[in-house]
């Protein structure tokens, strides 16, 4: 089992281009698994972890409801935002500047074959990261992602999650609000959940800006520990 994960920070990158890149890496792993089975070989399958920041974009998961987008095409254009219907689970969400997006593209057969455990560990990596900033975050029953104030009238989501998995290979991932413009969430019913607020790390800490590179380093530290993985800075991209 290959527990090495190739890490790449794509910087600020268009959503569609990033999605196509994810698909390319995802397909490479799946194709190798099929080839291994066909040839009765055991060539190691690679794992990847992409960080990216997207320009303003709304994405709708395959089980999502388009009515949760509260903007017309013209209004989207006026806000400098784009919209995509995509092949992950979940409903509608927003990505944009000031948000850390992570896409682990893993062959779970290198780790464990349990998609629910995978989601819980992704959440745990974010929960442990935010605990380092003094925030007590947790899960909300029946809702993915990471929340503050669960069980109170002030419940608010700080990190959205949505993944796709096929042949135990994952793609898509999480979006953590760090210095995000929360006004963009007013144009959707986030994750299709009415009456729930969203928040950002800088808002919760009462500061203008949080160091995003520091947050990424903390996420990676917890991710590597939880998945018992070795992270490599990749030169292969």
Task: Show which residues are catalytic.
Answer: 191
With a CB cutoff of 8 Å and minimum separation 6, the contacts of 183 are none
Among 33, 61, 39, smallest CA distance to 168 is for 33
Handedness of CA 163, 66, 154, 96 (dihedral sign): positive
Which residues lie across from 95 on neighbouring strands?
A: 57
Region of residue 145 (left: phi > 0; alpha: psi -120 to 50; beta: else):
left
Q: Are strands 57-60 and 82-85 parallel, antiparallel or unpaired?
A: parallel
- Note whether 61 and 97 are within 8 A (CB): no
- Note whether 118 and 162 are within 8 A (CB): no
């Amino acid at each position: 089992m290959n527990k090495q994960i190739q890490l790449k920070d794509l910087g600020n990158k268009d959503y569609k281009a990033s999605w196509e890149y994810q698909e390319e890496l995802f397909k490479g792993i799946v194709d190798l698994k099929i080839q291994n089975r066909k040839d009765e070989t055991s060539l190691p399958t690679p794992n990847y972890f992409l960080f990216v920041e997207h320009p303003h974009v709304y994405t709708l998961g395959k089980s999502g409801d388009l009515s949760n987008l509260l903007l017309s095409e013209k209004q989207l254009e006026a806000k400098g935002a784009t919209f995509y219907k995509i092949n992950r689970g979940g409903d509608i969400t927003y990505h944009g500047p000031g948000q850390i997006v992570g896409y682990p593209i893993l062959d779970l057969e290198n780790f464990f074959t349990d998609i629910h455990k995978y989601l819980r560990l992704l959440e745990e990596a974010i929960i442990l990261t935010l605990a380092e900033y003094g925030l007590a975050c947790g899960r909300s029953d029946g809702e993915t992602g990471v929340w503050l104030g669960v069980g109170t009238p002030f419940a608010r989501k700080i990190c959205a999650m949505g993944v796709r998995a096929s042949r135990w290979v994952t793609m898509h991932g999480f979006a953590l609000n760090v210095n995000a413009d929360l006004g963009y969430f007013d144009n959707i019913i986030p994750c299709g959940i009415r009456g729930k607020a969203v928040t950002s790390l800088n808002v919760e800490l009462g500061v203008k800006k949080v160091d995003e590179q520091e947050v990424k380093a903390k996420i990676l530290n917890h991710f590597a520990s939880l998945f018992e993985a070795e992270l490599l800075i990749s030169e292969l991209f």
